[in-house]
Amino acid sequence: MIYSPIVLFVYNRPESTIEVLNSLALNKESKFSDLIIFCDGPKSDNEILLSQISKVRKIVKSENRFGSVKIIENTSNKGLAKSVFDGVSEVFCSYDRIIVLEDDLIVAPFFLKYMNDSLNRYELNENVGQIGACNYFACGSKYPSSFFIPIADCWGWATWQNRWVKYIHSIDEIEKSIKNDKNLLNKFNAYGSYNFSRLLNLQKSKAVSSWAIHWHSTCILNNWLILYPNPSMSQHISSIDFTHETINITPPLCTEEPIFETKEVEEIYGVIKAMKRGYSMIGDYYGNLSFKLILLKMISSVKKRIFRITTIF
């Protein structure tokens, strides 16, 4: 087996940094894998922030459970989007495939085996753009052990250098290509279940710093599909101080060694249906409609309308 390097991005979350490292170390492949850690720099000279960053760097510098550990420390703050793009591009100067994690995740004990096997299995299939890890919408026995959807994953993922070089930076180029094609726009927005277009607009106005919307766009415009495991190989850690995501995605993690087999690179109707329910936030981890989630979504929608009305008057 080829052991792909693991690229980890950390900042100021010591507790979750420990969690992701501990969960990674439970993978048997960790002791054969190169771990490359990018530490982003401080946004200000706030004492609490500097203390948290210092704790994170102390934690990663004491890590010794991998084949090798390399740490890159930024003196100033790059922000998430630039950190990920620059870091991934830098590592691809030395490797042709990588596994990427951020410091708000935990992974299953078979995460590395799944990632390495999938990178090898689909390397020559030009219809596959990425290997994803977090399946929170189509878990359970009624779905295949792995499957493809057209939505990129940012919660534990892997890809190849010859895919990454096609990363599209220009939002104008993305908008021109997608908005002029209704079918492509529908696919871009998870077949109408999630408003990725809004995230693209927020990125354009610099209201958010997202590398993932560029990568999702790249995958869509190259007509790539993304492999996902069943059950999930990663979970998102919820925290009130997370900059970009406060929804806790905790699908059941894979606890038994999966059976690896090559799948047809195609979309499956039942999986897409479950995906749409998940992205619409009306479905549970098993692809079933959740009346609790539907009710919560309705309440949230009513609150937003009331807020708009009260702001107008």
pLDDT for 249: 67
pLDDT exceeds cutoff 90 at 300: no
- Picking from 10, 87, 20, the residue whose alpha carbon sits closest to that of residue 234 is 20
pLDDT for 71: 98
pLDDT for 39: 98
Interval 85-89 mean pLDDT: 98
Give alpha helix (H) positions in the chain: 14-25, 47-61, 80-91, 111-121, 161-164, 171-179, 182-188, 196-204, 212-221, 269-279, 291-312
Does this model's pTM top 0.85?
Answer: yes
37 strand-pairing partners:
8, 71
pLDDT exceeds cutoff 70 at 257: yes
> In this structure, are 152 and 289 located in the same domain?
no
Is 91 a domain residue? yes
**pLDDT tens digits along 260-270:** 999 999 999 99
Question: In total, how many domains does the chain have?
Answer: 2
pLDDT exceeds cutoff 60 at 101: yes
> In this structure, are 97 and 191 located in the same domain?
yes
Interval 189-201 mean pLDDT: 96
Q: What is the CATH number of the domain that holds 156?
A: 3.90.550.10
Q: Which two tokens stand for residue 2?
A: 């080829």
Give SS3 for 61.
Answer: helix
Q: What is the share, in percent, of the chain residues with pLDDT greater than 70?
A: 90
pLDDT band of 299, cuts 50, 70, 90: low
Is 1 a domain residue? no
Q: Which two tokens stand for residue 298?
A: 């309705």
- Picking from 280, 143, 154, 136, the residue whose alpha carbon sits closest to that of residue 219 is 154
**Which domain range does residue 88 map to?**
6-280
> In this structure, are 222 and 189 located in the same domain?
yes
pLDDT exceeds cutoff 70 at 310: no
> In this structure, are 267 and 295 located in the same domain?
no
CB 280 within 8 A of CB 152: no
Average pLDDT, the chain: 91
pLDDT for 313: 33
**pLDDT tens digits along 215-251:** 999 999 999 999 999 999 999 986 434 444 444 568 9
Interval 305-309 mean pLDDT: 42
pLDDT exceeds cutoff 90 at 72: yes
pLDDT exceeds cutoff 70 at 288: yes
> In this structure, are 10 and 33 located in the same domain?
yes
pLDDT exceeds cutoff 60 at 118: yes
pLDDT band of 3, cuts 50, 70, 90: very high
38 strand-pairing partners:
9, 72
> In this structure, are 301 and 200 located in the same domain?
no
